């Protein structure tokens, strides 16, 4: 039972079966040479040194190079536990952005069934995450969809197909910068199109609002489904729309 529990903990930090065997052998038998480790841990002699070197790099064992042959010693299990906790925390922290994005998409897609939303504003990072939320916003059950795009990566074939699909049940207004107008003209005439010289960021307004800026090589967005934030975004978009040049096709 104890071995199973320890094995489970060690697997959490990604140890191989040979590394597991070596660590448990050193805990149970104390310091050993590579030859004895290969024997007691049932690790092939041809692989034992590469396994031991990898474990030294990971901080799982120490090596006493002052002795000949070298002797290997397991780090105390308490230190191993701290490593496990640290690795788990790293995994959790790395997973948070993905979970937050999934939560946003879930809340946007299930507004009628959610009694309380987790936050007023969400921060979204990444081009594909931005596109995923833009899809939810544009394809919701709304009469009007307003889109402002100054970035070519946000007006590719994937986003264009979303815009076209949105026109099937919503009035769609698309505002672009001049460098994108030729591509925007390829969209169906039912997409109302206007152009302006510059914009400070992108925006998608419909069943929620998504405001996006290019941050270095990446994209950073704010997403909300709060009604008053949507209204503020609509008002600002309409101001830009009135001041922009209509494109007739």
**How far is the CA of 41 from the CAs of 2, 6, 44, 87, 178, in angstroms?**
17, 15, 9, 25, 68
How confident is the model at residue 216, as a pLDDT? Answer: 80
Residues 40 and 29 sit within 8 Å (Cβ to Cβ): yes
0.75 exceeded by pTM: no
What pLDDT score was predicted for residue 184?
Answer: 95
| Terminal C-alpha separation, the chain | 74
CA atoms within 13 A on the CB side of 168: 9
- pLDDT tens digits for 159-205? 999 999 999 999 999 999 999 999 999 999 999 999 999 898 999 99
| More confident call, 51 vs 4 | 51
Calculate what percentage of the chain has a pLDDT beyond 90.
49
Domains for the chain: give ranges and CATH numbers.
2-75 (1.10.10.10), 94-246 (3.30.870.10)
pLDDT at 238: 92
Beta strand 144-149 with 171-177 is parallel
| Closest among 3, 34, 35 to 20, alpha carbons compared | 3
Helical ranges in 41-186 per DSSP H: 45-57, 77-109, 127-138, 157-166, 181-184
pLDDT digits (tens, 9 = 90+) for 114-157: 444 445 677 888 899 899 999 989 998 899 999 999 999 999 99
For residue 69, whether the previous peptide bond is cis, meaning omega lies within 30 degrees of 0, is yes
CA angle 73–77–78, rounded 5-degree value: 125
Residue 85 pLDDT > 80: no
**pLDDT value at position 10?**
58
Joined together, the tokens standing for residue 37 give: 């480790």
Helix-strand-coil split of the chain, %, nearest 5: 50, 20, 30
Buried-exposed string 160-169: b where 16+ CB fall within 10 A, e elsewhere = bebbeebbee
pLDDT digits (tens, 9 = 90+) for 21-75: 898 899 889 999 999 999 999 999 999 999 999 989 888 899 988 778 899 999 9
Residue 53 confidence (pLDDT): 93
Closest of 191, 171, 138, 131 to residue 155, by C-alpha = 131
**Which pLDDT belongs to residue 11?**
58
- Higher model confidence: residue 80 or residue 189? 189
* DSSP letter string, 7-68: HHHHHHTT--HHHHHHHHHHHHH-SEEHHHHHHHTT--HHHHHHHHHHHHHTTSEEEETTSS
pLDDT at site 84: 65
For the stretch 87-123, pLDDT in tens is: 666 766 666 666 666 666 666 666 554 444 445 677 8
Using alpha carbons, select from 44, 36, 56 the residue that is nearest to residue 18: 44
**Tokens read off for 51:** 């396994």
Predicted pLDDT at 203:
94
Block residue for tokens 């001041």:
243
């Amino acid at each position: 039972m104890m071995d199973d529990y320890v094995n489970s903990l060690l697997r959490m930090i990604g140890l191989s079966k040979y590394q597991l065997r070596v660590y448990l052998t050193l805990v149970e038998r104390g310091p050993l040479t590579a030859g004895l480790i290969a024997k007691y841990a049932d690790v092939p002699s041809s692989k034992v040194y590469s396994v031991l070197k990898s474990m030294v790099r990971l901080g799982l064992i120490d090596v006493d190079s002052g002795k000949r042959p070298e002797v290997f010693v397991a780090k105390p299990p308490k230190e191993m536990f701290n490593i496990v906790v640290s690795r788990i925390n790293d995994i959790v922290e790395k997973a948070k952005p993905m979970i937050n994005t999934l939560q946003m998409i879930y809340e946007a897609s299930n507004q009628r069934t959610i009694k309380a939303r987790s936050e007023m504003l969400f921060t979204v990072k990444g081009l594909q995450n931005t596109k995923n939320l833009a899809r939810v916003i544009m394809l919701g059950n709304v009469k009007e969809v307003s889109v402002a795009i100054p970035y070519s990566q946000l007006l590719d074939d994937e986003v264009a197909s979303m815009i076209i699909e949105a026109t099937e049940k919503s009035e769609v207004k698309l505002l672009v910068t001049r460098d994108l107008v030729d591509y925007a003209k390829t969209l169906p005439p039912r997409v109302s199109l206007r152009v302006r010289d510059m914009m400070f960021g992108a925006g998608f307004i419909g069943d929620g609002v998504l405001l996006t800026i290019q941050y270095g090589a990446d994209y950073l967005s704010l997403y909300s489904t709060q009604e008053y934030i949507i209204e503020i975004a609509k008002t600002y978009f309409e101001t830009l729309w009135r001041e922009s040049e209509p494109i007739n096709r």
